[in-house]
Amino acid sequence: MSEAGTRRRPGRPRKERGAGSARASIMRAAAEEFAERGYEGASLRAVARRAGVDPALVHHYFDDKADLFTATLEAPLRPDRAVDLILAGTQHDIGERLVAYLLERLDDEKSGRRMVVILRTALSSGPGTRMVREFLLREVLSKLAGLVGGEDAELRAELAASQLVGLIMTRYALRVEPIAGTPREELARRVGAVVQWHLFGAPGAPLDAEPPTGE
Amino acid sequence: MSEAGTRRRPGRPRKERGAGSARASIMRAAAEEFAERGYEGASLRAVARRAGVDPALVHHYFDDKADLFTATLEAPLRPDRAVDLILAGTQHDIGERLVAYLLERLDDEKSGRRMVVILRTALSSGPGTRMVREFLLREVLSKLAGLVGGEDAELRAELAASQLVGLIMTRYALRVEPIAGTPREELARRVGAVVQWHLFGAPGAPLDAEPPTGE
């Protein structure tokens, strides 16, 4: 943020072109590519072309498109990997484990703040909305919906996500008390029960997760 | 948006100073006052002083601070009044009526877009977050919590609000399908049941609202 930090001192050489520089070029190219073509339309090959590097170098630094995308956004967590991990566990507490994962990753100051910046990108009038929407649909929501199954699986997955997004907004962006200061475990129980119900709940069925008050 | 619209044609007189101009001055002054002092710290008297008008004139145009605040934000709905209205009805379907109200007000293109701009203000790194937080706490959440009662009433009210905020984000900002195109009635049932449970649900109690699938 300081002005001095953004100015090159006279006589100080530019950073040598090398590994760091190639990775940075790829990330700059990726940011352009995602902004112009969305998450769906972007390709690692096209990113390599923009950056003027061999596609193999992109694959050397980044596992796949989701990896490059989350790196470009400086995302403090990998929702696509989290979903893989969490869905591989028991089904009856998926809601609670999703919420617990989210809060563990975001509860440190820096990560929470970064997440708010990403939400802002998603709300921007620019290309951010499309990028984030396409990423979520492709890498997160479709996996959740696949697990749920049934005609309304996509809607259920999105309603579960809407509760998670709202929790992020109130705890890390608006920072309203008491929600901002409530222990993770209690939020995981209360919000986890809702996420679970959105995903699997039958009409009128009891919320089968842990008692939300913990009493 | 058109360039022509923003330019004054040569020879065209400035708008006469009068009713419209006084109201506009008050709103400009209010925007400054809320940004500098937050919603709690702002007062109609100080707004009048900034605008260089008599306090009675502010009261002539605006009922109260909430009225001035929502006018300044060009809010497409009045959450404070909605809560008064909805809480005055039966308790067993408050969740569903809150969601139905929200969707009815925001489902037209322009209102939904305006709401997204307000969310962006709430996420801004500037004074928007504090303003919106204080308004919500003072005029909306405290009323909801008052109805709920009990030790965890504030947390319950905020968790209910978090689900509503998340619904707004996914339906009007991210616009993910199918959530963006799902009929209001179905969302009111599904999300209303969750809001109701956040507010009043006992551990392990059945979701007592309408069956969420409508089947």
Rounded Cα distance, A200 and A197, in Å: 5
Minimum Cα–Cα distance from B213: chain A residue = A203
Mean pLDDT rounded to a whole number for chain B: 88
Of these ranges, A1-10, A13-22, A186-195, B199-208, the one predicted with the greatest mean pLDDT is: A186-195
What type of residue sits at position B207?
L
Check if the beta carbon of residue A203 is closer than 8 Å to that of residue B212. yes
Interchain pair A154, B215: CB under 8 A: no
In this structure, the answer to whether residues A62 and A27 fall within a common structural domain is: yes
Residue that is last in its domain, among B26, B45, B71: B71
Hey, is the C-beta of B183 within 8 angstroms of any chain A C-beta? Answer: no
Pick from B156, B180, B153: which is nearest to B168 by CA?
A: B180
Partners of B178 on chain A (C-beta within 8 Å) are: 154-155, 158
In this structure, the answer to whether residues B177 and B82 fall within a common structural domain is: yes
> Looking at CA atoms only, how far is residue B45 from chain A in angstroms?
27
Interchain pair A123, B207: CB under 8 A: no
Give the pair of three-digit tokens for residue B30. 């209010």
In this structure, the answer to whether residues A158 and A62 fall within a common structural domain is: no
Q: What is the mean pLDDT of residues A162-190?
A: 97
List the beta bridge partners of residue B206. Answer: A206
| B209 occurs within a structural domain | no
Q: What is the pLDDT of residue A17?
A: 54
Give the H or E element holding residue B60: helix B55-61
Residue B209 scores a pLDDT above 70: no
Check if the beta carbon of residue B145 is closer than 8 Å to that of residue B83. no
Q: Per-residue pLDDT tens for B35-74?
A: 999 999 999 999 999 999 999 999 999 999 999 999 999 9
Rounded Cα distance, B49 and A106, in Å: 43
Check if the beta carbon of residue A171 is closer than 8 Å to that of residue A180. yes
Residue A207 scores a pLDDT above 70: no
Q: Considering the entire predicted model, what is its pTM?
A: 0.86
Sign of CA dihedral A184, B191, A198, A206: positive
Cα–Cα distances (Å) from B141 to A40, B6, B108, in that order, read 39, 39, 25
In this structure, the answer to whether residues B67 and B80 fall within a common structural domain is: no
Domain residue limits at A192? 73-200
Minimum Cα–Cα distance from B170: chain A residue = A162
| A53 occurs within a structural domain | yes
Pick from A32, A25, A74, A33: which is nearest to A54 by CA?
A: A25
Number of domain units in chain B: 2
Check if the beta carbon of residue A183 is closer than 8 Å to that of residue B151. no
Q: Per-residue pLDDT tens for A57-76?
A: 999 999 999 999 999 999 99
Residue B113 scores a pLDDT above 80: yes
Hey, is the C-beta of B203 within 8 angstroms of any chain A C-beta? Answer: yes
Q: What is the pLDDT of residue A206?
A: 53
List the beta bridge partners of residue A206. Answer: B206
Residue that is last in its domain, among A66, A101, A123: A66
Minimum Cα–Cα distance from B163: chain A residue = A163
Rounded Cα distance, B109 and A182, in Å: 36
Q: Per-residue pLDDT tens for B182-197?
A: 999 999 999 999 999 9
* Between A18 and A91, the higher pLDDT residue: A91
What type of residue sits at position A181?
G
Q: Where are the alpha helices (DSSP H) in chain A?
A: 3-6, 19-41, 44-51, 55-61, 65-72, 79-87, 94-106, 109-123, 128-135, 142-148, 153-168, 184-200
In this structure, the answer to whether residues B116 and B137 fall within a common structural domain is: yes
* Between A207 and B161, the higher pLDDT residue: B161
Test mutation, B170, B175, B184, B185, chain A, max A CBs within 10 A: B170
Residue B149 scores a pLDDT above 90: yes
Interchain pair B174, A212: CB under 8 A: no
| A9 occurs within a structural domain | no
Q: Per-residue pLDDT tens for A90-114?
A: 999 999 999 999 999 999 999 999 9
Interchain pair A136, B164: CB under 8 A: no
Q: What is the pLDDT of residue B203?
A: 56
Partners of B177 on chain A (C-beta within 8 Å) are: 154
Q: What is the pLDDT of residue A105?
A: 96
| A94 occurs within a structural domain | yes
In this structure, the answer to whether residues A36 and A142 fall within a common structural domain is: no
Hey, is the C-beta of A91 within 8 angstroms of any chain B C-beta? Answer: no
In this structure, the answer to whether residues B36 and B86 fall within a common structural domain is: no
In this structure, the answer to whether residues B49 and B107 fall within a common structural domain is: no
Q: What is the mean pLDDT of residues B93-116?
A: 96
The interface residues of chain A toward chain B in range 95-154, judged by CB-CB distance below 8 A, are 116, 119-120, 122-124, 129, 132-133, 136-137, 141, 152, 154
Interchain pair A175, B133: CB under 8 A: yes
Which CATH number belongs to the domain containing residue B66 in this structure? 1.10.10.60
Interchain pair A173, B212: CB under 8 A: no
Q: Per-residue pLDDT tens for A124-159?
A: 888 999 999 999 999 999 999 999 999 999 999 999
What type of residue sits at position A186?
E
Residue that is last in its domain, among B29, B46, B71: B71
Cα–Cα distances (Å) from A53 to A37, A43, A69, in that order, read 19, 14, 18
Q: What is the pLDDT of residue A20?
A: 73
Mean pLDDT rounded to a whole number for chain A: 88
Rounded Cα distance, A203 and B209, in Å: 9
Minimum Cα–Cα distance from A198: chain B residue = B190
